[in-house]
Amino acid sequence: MSGALRGLTAAARLRLIERLAQRRAGQEGPAGAEPLGEGGKRRFAGLSGMRDFDLFRAALHDLGVDSPFFRLHEGRAGARSVVDGKDCLNFSTYDYLGLNGDPRIAAAAKAAVDRYGVSAGASRLVSGERPVHRALEAALAEWHGAEDALVLVSGHATNVTLIGHLTGPQDAVLHDAAIHNSCVEGARLAGARRVAFPHNDWAAAGRELAAIRAQHRHVLVVIEGHYSMDGDCPDLARFVEIARRHDAWLMVDEAHSLGVLGGSGRGIAEAQGVDPRAVDIWMGTLSKALCAAGGYVAGPRELVSWLRHTLPGFVYSVGLAPPLAAAALAALEALRAEPWRIERLNANARALRDGLAARGFDVGASAGHAIVPLLTGSSLKAARLSDALFRRGVNVQPIVYPAVPDRSARLRFFVSAAHAPQDIAAALEAVSAAARED
């Protein structure tokens, strides 16, 4: 430990490091090229954000906190997992419905390997189709009340390529301030004007849209059905009305909604009683409730057909691996047959959210569906609390700057239908004990 920190209490060391970080952030000018060190090892030290990363890493070291990132899971990551050799309650997996490792889904994936091999071999446009791709797309389209759907190899890449392809320099993308990075990157790729409105503020979105609509050829409004950082939801009907009034497209990212919201898991439209056909574009991922990997777009047949022949992230990328398509399709069928999983998931999430709030912790605006944040107010506090919980057998990851502003740093609990009530109770007790230690 550095001399400046030796002998201080943990809380005092934390305050000192945070003041140092604030002071350095205010004093340092724009990042520029730095002299090369021996062997050229400093060639990338001037990259934007690398100094902040180095400072955060050094602060963790000075506080005696192990990095919470990239820990090794030694088996299936479910409600429990063996992490770095330690048996833990696990709140760091997207396995919302507890289907990862389900024998039906594993069997579907293995059968696809036997029939099609592991890889699609090339772009589907080049190498041809597999029946499992078409079956999955038909099921996803039906799930969203859409005419057609298209699956891609990555959820993040789906948003980047879709928004980058739909819009251009003459267009604008109006999005929630808390929208996922992939949507922001898509707008940047397109060169479209990007306008953010305050989180979930449909009235502000309406004012912004009214102000910019006449200046642009097209405007794409992008929101999430269930926000991945806060666990809250927008008022979908309001956003539909705003988009229609101003002749804009409305796109809803359902990555954390499918299998989570609505009585049968069909997402925010079902949960809020909105006709899904009122949304122009549905987007989602296969990696969360469907426990596979990949992304998809669902919408009008004319749009999906055009995307199937022109979307860069689909045309110029290998097709989704057939075992992943088969696994996602089997998971969707299991969800259709077992809606009790959604009820159990939401009951667990509400119990965790309400239990944390009753103990005086800040859970933000979590709606109690699958994502429960615990706001800490600083990145270092989030890292310390995560470390203390891991030592108590609870695996939950911190979300730190730059993923969120430092003042909004948090622990983010991903809840599963596979968690038992005693798992939630044990987690609550562990959080209380770890906070008292800090």
Q: Is 256 a catalytic residue?
A: yes
Determine the pLDDT at residue 14: 54
Determine the pLDDT at residue 38: 56
Determine the pLDDT at residue 41: 61
Contact 153, 124 (CB under 8 A): no
Tell me: cis bond preceding 131? Omega within 30 of 0 counts. Answer: no
Of 370, 366, 386, 390, residue with least CA distance to 378:
386
Whether 75 maps to a domain, the answer reads no
The one catalytic residue in 175, 180, 226, 256 is 256
Which domain-ending residue is among 315, 337, 359? 337
Do residue 311 and residue 347 come from a single domain? no
Q: Could you report the per-residue pLDDT of 111-156, keeping only the tens digit for each?
A: 999 999 999 989 999 888 899 999 999 999 999 999 999 999 999 9
Do residue 229 and residue 127 come from a single domain? yes
Whether 214 maps to a domain, the answer reads yes
Do residue 291 and residue 313 come from a single domain? yes
CB atoms inside a 10 Å sphere around CB 112: 22
Q: Is 226 a catalytic residue?
A: no
Do residue 373 and residue 314 come from a single domain? no
Residue 382 vs residues 43, 57, 65, 273, 312: alpha-carbon distances, Å: 31, 13, 11, 37, 38
- Six token digits for residue 218: 């097209």
Residue 82 identity (one-letter amino acid): V
The one catalytic residue in 288, 369, 381, 419 is 288
Which domain-ending residue is among 321, 337, 353? 337
Whether 71 maps to a domain, the answer reads no
Contact 294, 320 (CB under 8 A): yes
Determine the pLDDT at residue 39: 56
Based on the structure, what is the number of domains in the chain? 3
Whether 4 maps to a domain, the answer reads no
Whether 362 maps to a domain, the answer reads yes
Do residue 298 and residue 395 come from a single domain? no
Do residue 20 and residue 123 come from a single domain? no
- Where are any strands of DSSP class E within 56-168? 80-83, 86-90, 148-152
Do residue 316 and residue 172 come from a single domain? yes
The one catalytic residue in 228, 317, 378, 386 is 228
Contacts of 322 (CB under 8 A, 6+ apart): 112, 113, 115, 116, 117, 118, 119, 120, 130, 132, 133
Q: Could you report the per-residue pLDDT of 60-109, keeping only the tens digit for each?
A: 677 666 777 787 888 888 899 998 888 999 999 999 999 999 999 999 99
Whether 72 maps to a domain, the answer reads no
Which domain-ending residue is among 314, 337, 360? 337
Compute the distance between CA of residue 412 and CA of residue 404 in angstroms, rounded to an integer.
12
Q: Could you report the per-residue pLDDT of 396-421, keeping only the tens digit for each?
A: 999 988 778 888 999 999 999 999 99
We report the CATH number of the domain holding residue 213 as: 3.40.640.10
Do residue 366 and residue 228 come from a single domain? no
Do residue 35 and residue 119 come from a single domain? no
Entry pTM? 0.88
Q: Could you report the per-residue pLDDT of 153-209, keeping only the tens digit for each?
A: 999 999 999 999 999 999 999 999 999 999 999 999 999 999 999 999 999 999 999
Do residue 209 and residue 296 come from a single domain? yes
Three-state SS for 134? helix
Do residue 322 and residue 355 come from a single domain? no
Q: What's the Rg (C-alpha) of the chain?
A: 23
Whether 3 maps to a domain, the answer reads no
The alpha carbon of 25 is separated from its chain's Cα centroid by a whole number of angstroms, namely: 28
Whether 191 maps to a domain, the answer reads yes
For residue 416, give its domain range.
80-94+339-437
Q: Is 61 a catalytic residue?
A: no
Determine the pLDDT at residue 400: 86
Do residue 333 and residue 345 come from a single domain? no
Residue 392 region, left (φ>0) first, then alpha (ψ -120 to 50), else beta? alpha
User: What value does the mean pLDDT take over residues 28-32?
Assistant: 42
We report the CATH number of the domain holding residue 384 as: 3.90.1150.10
Q: Give the percent of the chain with pLDDT over 70.
A: 89
